[in-house]
Each structure stands twice: as structure tokens, then as C-alpha cells.
Structure 1
Amino acid sequence: MSSRRWVLPALLATAIAASLAPHAAAHDNDRGHGHGHAKTRTVGYYTQWSGYDRNFLVKNLVTNGTAPRLTHLNYAFGFLDESGKCVSSDPWADYQRPFSAEQSVNGKADVEGQPLSGNLNQLKQLKAKYPELRVNISLGGWTGSKYFSNAALTPQSRAAHVASCLDMWLKGNLPGLAPGAAAGIFDGIDLDWEWPSSEAAPGNVVRPEDKQNFTALLVEYRKQLGRLTWRTREAYDLTAFLPADPRQIDRGFEVARVFGLLTFGTVQGYDFHGSWDPQTNQQSSLRTPAGDPAPLPFSSQVTVDHYLKNGAPKHKVVLGVPFYSRGWTGVTNANNGLFQDATGPAPATYEAGYEDYRVLKAQLGNFTVHRDPKAGHAWLFDGTTFWTWDDPTEMKRKGRYVAERRLGGAMIWSLDGDTADGELIKALTSGLS
């Protein structure tokens, strides 16, 4: 922090110190390969909608062996209203849905009138089973970032936003429930503002001053988290999901200051290309492949190097990896389908051009697997349809890349894409160790 060119008021500096200090002890217990400053983190996103069409419940994190391999679980997503205050985007999934004994982590059925139900109660049970696991609430996402700019706009809006989010998610004061019904479930806040000063989903509020306001928002979070730490004696994480595109990084983030305020930052290591592009390409390559026709090179290394060059410390950079594939169809049958023209997104189960790993694995007999070990990516092709392919071989490769570069860990989007026996999480963590 001493390298910053700005001076914090004494109260704020003390609050930040109080909030940051406990993390050193907390992270000493992170499982994985040691890096000196901190242990390698394994961060996974569990989405509130996983329990619908996919029928992937919090309990499945136990049955497929994921939970004991995670250091952090991010529950996605909480939203913001137009004023910038925190709201639940799906109260039924979050805290109302009852689960049967067969569906519950602890094997007991929810009963009418209990203080808390839904995914949050299941996360509470998961934490009871795995007390070292840290669970954070993730705010925003692609469809939930519309009003982040409003929240960050002024000192007053920032203070109101943070106070509302801490009250709802950390203090556990949820609408319609007894005060504190969900207290103690979340260990921190993960900010998924996509993106400051760059529009992502159509209609998002975007302002040029978002870049400086994002930093100011983090300062406000540290201030209020520090005060909460004084009262509870608990350590709280403050993390953020950050973009892959160097142009969005430069436009929206004061990188060194941001990482100085975060416990760690997860950087986008996927969606480099997808069916929005007219040609097939990799979505999560470690290095830019030879012959890539894209106008700008995208790869994990391009992204990581850009953050490091701009002042992010290695031990706080957590690289994102995908448990899903991006696909095209109507692909020209040449070069094994790579870098070829396509007619559109490949048909898929939940979203055209996007398919969970476990679903594609069941169709593997219809495809040939191709790999580029030098660039660090793989793909499937059947002569017409092309899918990016992050299987256990590529996951282990990504884990080794994180370990060899002494980065802060790996982040998974999203946990519901894995198989019933946890093929991908096992391969990733074997590479990290």
C-alpha cells in the first residue's frame, strides 16, 4: 500500500488494516501449493440457477468431490437496483426453496417455518461440513451489472450500496425473514462489475469516471468491512472478477490500486472467442496459437502479463478456467475445423454455442479430439461442428501453468459443468499441487 500516491485518512487506513490483517492467518490454511505470500486458491462459482434445469444442487459439490478441493466458493449472483442497493435476483432459489432429505447436504428435509431455506441454507450446511471453505456472495455478473455505475457514482451512493450489501448478505437480513436469519453464511463480497467504463450487456449504465469510481467503491468496501471486523472479529474477503481484454482493463481499472484493496482478483481466462465471431477459434488458450487470424491476440498469458505489467502482484492473480465449451456449426472442413468460417452457433442444451463439459463428454464418440500443446488448448470437430474442449488433460495443464508462474490460484466458471465424479476439479487441483 505504501507505493500508492494518495494518502488515506487515518480512520480509513486503520479500517483497511483491520480488515486486511486477519486474511494472512486465514489464507495460511488454504489448501494447495504454497507460494510464500499465500497458498494457491481454488475458487469455484456456484450459480443460483444450477438447481433448475441442470438439477445440480449444493449437495452435488459433496457427492462429486468438489467441496473438499475448493478454498473459496462464490455464490452467483446478487443484483443491484437502480439506486445501486443490493437485492436478491431470485429469492426463491436464494432463501425460500425447500429441499428434501435426498437433496440436502446434511440429509435432513427442510420443514415449514424453519428460519432459512433455499441455497443459502444448503451453503450453511456445506460450511458446517467443510469449515475451512470460505463462501462469498458474488454481485453483478453479465445480466446484473446494469446499475453498478450508479452505485459507485458518489460518496453517498457508494456508502449506501456497501451498507445495503453488507446488511443483506453478511449480516443476513433478508426480506421477509427474521433479522440475521442468514448471518454467518458469507465470508466476503465478490464484485462482478462487467465492466467499468465498458458496456458489456446491452443497456448497462456506463460512465467515463467508472474507472476511478471502481477504486473508490473498493475503498468504501474496505472501510465498512473493517468496521464490521471490529465488531465481529471475523475476517472478510473482498474480491473481484476482472476482464481479459487489455483494452477493457486499461479503460476501467487502476490495476495496482485495485489489487492493493482486494484479497485477490480473479481474471477472465475464457470467452476469448465464441460464436459471436464468424470464425472458429480457441476460447481459453494459455498462449496465442500460431496462425490465429483474429485481429487481436487473446490468451491467458496475454491477460495475466497485462495485469502483472500494470502492478498486480502474482500471488493475488487468480486465473479463470472454464468447465464449459464454446461452439460453432456450419464449419468449413479444413485445418481440423480450427480458424474456419462458420454459419452460426452450435446447437446446445441450454444456450446455443455454449455447452457444459459433462454434456459434451457424453457425445464424445461423435467427435475427434485435437490438441495444440504448445499454445495450451484443445477442440472437438466432426467435419461440421466445432467445440472448444477443456477436458482433464487441459485442466491439469492450466493448473501447472498457474503453479509454474507462481500465480495466486485458479477460478472455475462454473461448477455445474463438471461430471458426477468431478473429473475436471480433480485434474485442475492435481496440476495446482
Structure 2
Amino acid sequence: MRFRHRVAAGIATLVLPFAGLVGLANPAQAATSATATYVKTQDWGSGFEGKWTVKNTGTTSLSSWTVEWDFPAGTSVTSAWDADVTSSGTHWTAKNKSWNGTLAPGASVSFGFNGAGSGSPANCKLNGGSCDGGSTNPGDNPPSAPGTPSASDVTNTSVKLSWSAATDDKGVKNYDVLRDGAKVATVTATSYTDTGLTAGTDYSYTVQARDTADQLGPVGGARAVRTTGGTTEPPTGDKVKLGYFTEWGVYGRNYHVKNLVTSGTASKITHINYAFGNVKNGQCTVDDTYAAYDKAYTADQSVSGQADTWDQPLRGNFNQLRQLKAKYPHIKVLYSFGGWTYSGGFGQAAQNAAAFARSCKQVVEDPRWADVFDGIDIDWEYPNACGLTCDNSGPAAFRTLMQALRAEFGQNYLVTAAITADGSNGGKIDAADYGGAAQYLDWYNVMTYDYFGAFNAQGPTAPHSPLTSYPGIPQAGFNSADAIAKLKAKGVPSKKLLLGIGFYGRGWTGVTQSAPGGTATGAAPGTYEAGIEDYKVLKNSCPATGTIAGTAYAHCGSNWWSYDTPATINSKMAWAKSQGLGGAFYWEFSGDTANGELASAVDAGLK
């Protein structure tokens, strides 16, 4: 994947320290007429989400409210909603918005915030008086979230769940066990065996604590469980049909998870790689947090048809993927880290592979979305070689990293890697121990595209994804067949190799020759990047005029493009089956037509 473009977004209200703006409410409204209760609704280690609830417990209407509290040094509010939040040092003040200040007797309103650090609020005041939080006793806070449940003794019809206890200032009474968001049991212990399940079915479990005052705390992290047996497991030997979903596609491309449903693609794939997580300081990290888990979806945009709310624990692409998996339980989702742009971070990661693997699992198993991901994909595109940057970590580093990931993730997660398809002698496949690493991986996504393009501005024109060599090919070994053959020769089993397809074309301009091998003056114009265009555009703007080495090409005006069509994909899938390959993957969903023309061709070709 040579082209990588990321759009950063930070659509949140940044709270800056600004003292003295918010005054106290009228003393006549203070103290006994209202309560303010705090709950930490989420905690992800380096930060958290908090929620205050103000309730009018008096007999007359409340016209405004102001909540004040102190945080310990190192804990702060970073963004807030449904209140104006300011600070003076470690003292924080939240005042109602113009539209939510009035509270009738018995009414309540909540406001939330994201915070940095790990401290809890102290010295709470509501309209100048005591907050008197809690539903029965002053100062009684709701319990904390229990730990993410672990699953054991999984059978066709049952699973045993265990979790770490919640904490509470007055004591925990019991726990509600939730299956797919619905309560299935209330228990006093920190374990429960759920029975009566369906074989071969995916479930998601969470736990919520209740204190002695019957206050419910926040829901803990989710654990995905698949019961054994059943008929929904893909039959042995079924081919992998995987597509990449790009995190940044929700911006300029306006491509969302729901498009997989409306295009019909969701029923024709087995796996999704969510791209990309970043690799910084030797660790895995979420890249664009807004797109990943904060962007709010309206009802018409969402897979479920329901709009996101401001206070739901998870939004963004991750929540949409969760909804997609509920609708299409056969789909597995992997979190992909790296890519062309971020591959430079893997060299440092390989220096402490175990620590890197731990950091990746922490991201993949974050309690907010632990049920979304079924594995991890590592897109280290140029180990011990040069790409966007040069890496000198040595030929064994790639194998070491994969070994650490498998050890950390175990056998219940998928662990895969997208790798170079440079089949030339002494090329990138020869630079790393892909054969030795294969034992730790479920499969390789062999990137059999981007061989040729307008990064060589003067040409010669050549198909960017040739299946085979051909007379006049600009570089020996730059084709799918040679790459697959080299990997097999290094000991990689055929079933662990997926053939790569590009849902886009690469092109030049200033070309007068229709056949491949012509000269050019530069990159052809593209919607997002010169020299690159989506298939959905090219099929109409520059229809194919011929084929070469199993890939289509087109000459229109002075532009020359190469790209795959449904017909060439069908031929490539037939070749993949003849080679005993494990299936195919493609970069990436948004390049396809609105009715999923190319994804349909991959699906049909692998049957």
C-alpha cells in the first residue's frame, strides 16, 4: 500500500484554564434543594470519562445550577459537553448551558467530560452548598465498573464468566450480568455460568455493579465469546475474503461502515482489516481517536438505524463495526497497525518485542471495544529494507516481532501480517525471515500491487498489479506469481498466503502509446492524489482497452491507466485457487462501486 493519507480530526471542546468567569448561583437555590452525583463512566488508564448528574430534590423549580469540585494535581478536564467547564488551578467549575439550567421538582440533568490523569473529584459544591450526592445517603457514590469478564469452559451451550470486583464507598451489593446489552442474571459472586446458548454463535458479555443503596455503577468492559459447534463456522478449506477499511475514509471519501451493508459487500466478505493504528515509541496506539471511537452517527448513517447519543460509551467506527458484526456474525475484524506511512515505527518496536506485543493487546482489548476485534494485523511493509524510511533491524526482527505477538495474543486471536510482494532476487522478500515467521501467523496479506506507477514519472507505462511476468516488464520479479513462488520456496504454506487486489488504478499522463511500455511526462490527475484513481471512477472515465499479464489497462486521451476489473479479478481468483492459496484481500473498500462490483467478483471467483 504505497499511498497513505490520513485526515486528522479533533472535534471536541477544548477546556482551557480560565478563572473567574463562572460565579456562584443565588444562595436561595443552594444546598438542600438539589444534589450533584459523580460517576466515572469509563477508564482507559491514561484518561477517563466522567459524568455529573444534578437533581432537583426540592419543591420549587431550579433556574440554574453550578457544580464545583477539586481534582488532585495531575488530573484535569480535557473536553466537556452539556455544561460550560472552567478551572482555576486544580479547582473546577461547571455551569449549565442556556438550555438545560431549569429543573422542575424531581427532574435531573447530566453533563459529561473527558479527563486526563486518574484522580477523583473532592470538595464538591452545588450552587454554593454541599452536593449531598447519592440516592439515599449523603456522600454515597455509585460503585466503580467491574473488571472485563474472562471466559472459560466454553461449550456449545454455555460459558463461565469471571471478573474482578467493583469498589464502592458503602459496599457492593450484587452484579448484573449483561448478554448483548440485556440483563440475564443478578449475582452476588464475581462469576456466573450462562447456559441455554446456541452453538456456533457470537455473544458479548459485560457486568455492572450495584451498591447497598441500589445505585448502579457504569458497565465494565465487554468480552466477546463464541460458543463451540454449530453450523455457522466456515467449513474447513473456505477461502478468506478480506477487505481493508480505512479510518480516514469517513472524511473526504464519505465512506462509512454502513456502506458495506448498502453495497451488499458485508455478505461477501469474511474479514475486515481496520486501518491503521499507529506505532509510536515502540508501542501500538490508536491514531485518529475521533474517527475511531468518538464521531457521532445519525440514525440514517448508522448500521443499526439508531442515532448515537452523547453519553453512550462508544461511538465512531468501532461502534459501527460492532453493529455490523451483530448484523453479520460471520465477519471477523482485525485491527491493523502500521502501513506505508507508519512502518517506520516497527524498528524500535522490534527492540523490545514483548513490550510492543503487550501494548498492542492493551489497545485491541481496551474495555470500550474488546468485543469488536478478533485479531491483529501488522503492516510492516519494509522490515530490514527501505521504503518511506530505511530500516536496519536485521533479517530476524520480523520473525521476533511475530513470535512475541503470538505469545501475547495466544491462539484465540488471529495474528496476520501484510507484507511486501517484491519477488526479485535480493529484493524485499529476501530481506526478512518470512518463512520462519509464518509459523506464528494465520496468514500473510501479500501486497501484489503497486509494482509500477507514476512514482516513476517518465514511465515506462506498466500494469501496477501484474499477475505474471511478460516480455518487456520493467523489473524482473515484480509480479504476483514470482512473489508467491518465492514465499513458498521459503517455507510459507500456500494456505497462509492471500493474493492482493487493488480497488484502484495507477496512471500516467503525456502518453501517446496505447500498449504498455510507453513514455510519459508525469502522473495522471486523480481525485485525491495524482497518479491514483478509484476503480469506481476509472470504469467510466477511462474504460479498459486491453489486458496485460492478467490486469486491465486503458489509454484515453493522453492518460494511461492500469487497474483490475471484475473480469481480471475472476481470472486472478482462479489462479489463486489453482495455487492452493488461502484466499484474497483488497485495498480498500471505498474504491469499489456503490453496488460492490469488485468485492462481488472476489467472492464469486473464490467459490
Q: Same fold (TM over 0.5)?
A: yes
How far off is 1:289 after superposition?
2.1
State how far apart, in whole Å, the 1-side matches of 2:233 and 2:417 are: 19
State whether residues 378 and 394 of structure 1, in contact with CA within 8 Å, keep that contact through their aligned partners in structure 2.
yes
State how far apart, in whole Å, the 1-side matches of 2:599 and 2:526 are: 23
Match of 1:360 among 500, 523, 538: 538
State whether residues 137 and 189 of structure 1, in contact with CA within 8 Å, keep that contact through their aligned partners in structure 2.
yes
State whether residues 190 and 238 of structure 1, in contact with CA within 8 Å, keep that contact through their aligned partners in structure 2.
yes
**Identity over aligned pairs, percent:** 39
Match of 2:495 in 1: 315
State whether residues 398 and 434 of structure 2, in contact with CA within 8 Å, keep that contact through their aligned partners in structure 1.
no
Instruction: Give the secondary-structure state (helix, strand or coil) at the position aligned to 1:143.
Output: helix
State whether residues 245 and 275 of structure 2, in contact with CA within 8 Å, keep that contact through their aligned partners in structure 1.
yes
* Residues 29/42 of structure 1: CA separation in 2 closer, same or farther (3 Å cut): farther
- Kindly provide the CA deviation profile for residues 374-428 of structure 1, in whole angstroms up to 9, marking residues without a partner as x: x211101024100102111111111111112221100111111100111101112
Count of aligned positions = 377
State how far apart, in whole Å, the 2-side matches of 1:29 and 1:399 are: 24
Instruction: Give the secondary-structure state (helix, strand or coil) at the position aligned to 2:405.
Output: helix
Question: Which structure 2 residues correspond to residues 124-143 of structure 1 after superposition, within 5 A?
Answer: 124-143=322-341
Instruction: Give the secondary-structure state (helix, strand or coil) at the position aligned to 1:139.
Output: strand
* Residues 385/60 of structure 1: CA separation in 2 closer, same or farther (3 Å cut): same
- Kindly provide the CA deviation profile for residues 208-228 of structure 1, in whole angstroms up to 9, marking residues without a partner as x: 42x2121111111111112xx
Of stretches 215-224 and 345-354 in structure 1, the one that deviates more from structure 2 is 215-224
Match of 1:285 in 2: 466
Q: Is 1:207 the counterpart of 2:405 in the alignment?
A: no
State whether residues 337 and 386 of structure 1, in contact with CA within 8 Å, keep that contact through their aligned partners in structure 2.
no
Question: Which structure 2 residues correspond to residues 85-164 of structure 1 after superposition, within 5 A?
Answer: 85-153=283-351, 157-164=352-359
State whether residues 136 and 186 of structure 1, in contact with CA within 8 Å, keep that contact through their aligned partners in structure 2.
yes
How far off is 1:296 after superposition?
2.4
State how far apart, in whole Å, the 1-side matches of 2:251 and 2:592 are: 16
Q: In angstroms, what is the RMSD of aligned CA positions? A: 2.0
- Kindly provide the CA deviation profile for residues 107-153 of structure 1, in whole angstroms up to 9, marking residues without a partner as x: 11101011001100101111111111110000000111121110111
* Residues 54/299 of structure 1: CA separation in 2 closer, same or farther (3 Å cut): same
Match of 2:49 in 1: none
Match of 2:408 in 1: 224
Instruction: Give the secondary-structure state (helix, strand or coil) at the position aligned to 2:243.
Output: strand
Match of 1:187 in 2: 374
How far off is 1:57 after superposition?
0.6
Match of 2:104 in 1: none
Instruction: Give the secondary-structure state (helix, strand or coil) at the position aligned to 2:568.
Output: helix
Match of 1:301 in 2: 481
State whether residues 465 and 563 of structure 2, in contact with CA within 8 Å, keep that contact through their aligned partners in structure 1.
no
Q: Which one has the bigger strand percentage?
A: 2
Q: Which has the higher contact order (CA 8 A, sep 6+)?
A: 1
Q: Is 1:236 the counterpart of 2:413 in the alignment?
A: yes
Match of 1:78 in 2: 277
Match of 1:370 in 2: 546
Match of 2:600 in 1: 426
Match of 1:264 among 428, 434, 443: 443
Amino acid at match of 1:164: S
Amino acid at match of 1:265: Y
- Kindly provide the CA deviation profile for residues 250-308 of structure 1, in whole angstroms up to 9, marking residues without a partner as x: 112x122211110111101101101112211011111112232x142411101111111
* Residues 273/30 of structure 1: CA separation in 2 closer, same or farther (3 Å cut): farther
- Kindly provide the CA deviation profile for residues 39-90 of structure 1, in whole angstroms up to 9, marking residues without a partner as x: 2110110000111111111000011011111111000000011x21111111
State whether residues 453 and 462 of structure 2, in contact with CA within 8 Å, keep that contact through their aligned partners in structure 1.
yes
Match of 1:16 in 2: none
Match of 1:276 among 450, 455, 473: 455
State how far apart, in whole Å, the 1-side matches of 2:344 and 2:289 are: 19
Match of 1:55 among 254, 277, 299: 254
Structure 2 stretches lacking a partner, 5+ long: 1-224
Structure 1 stretches lacking a partner, 5+ long: 1-21, 173-179, 230-234
Q: Is 1:39 the counterpart of 2:238 in the alignment?
A: yes
State how far apart, in whole Å, the 2-side matches of 1:208 and 1:181 are: 34
Instruction: Give the secondary-structure state (helix, strand or coil) at the position aligned to 1:387.
Output: strand
State how far apart, in whole Å, the 1-side matches of 2:319 and 2:448 are: 31
Query: Which of structures 1 and 2 has the bigger CA Rg?
Result: 2
Instruction: Give the secondary-structure state (helix, strand or coil) at the position aligned to 2:298.
Output: coil
Q: Which runs of 4+ in 1 moved over 3 A?
A: 28-31
State how far apart, in whole Å, the 1-side matches of 2:300 and 2:393 are: 50
State how far apart, in whole Å, the 2-side matches of 1:65 and 1:42 are: 14
Amino acid at match of 1:330: G
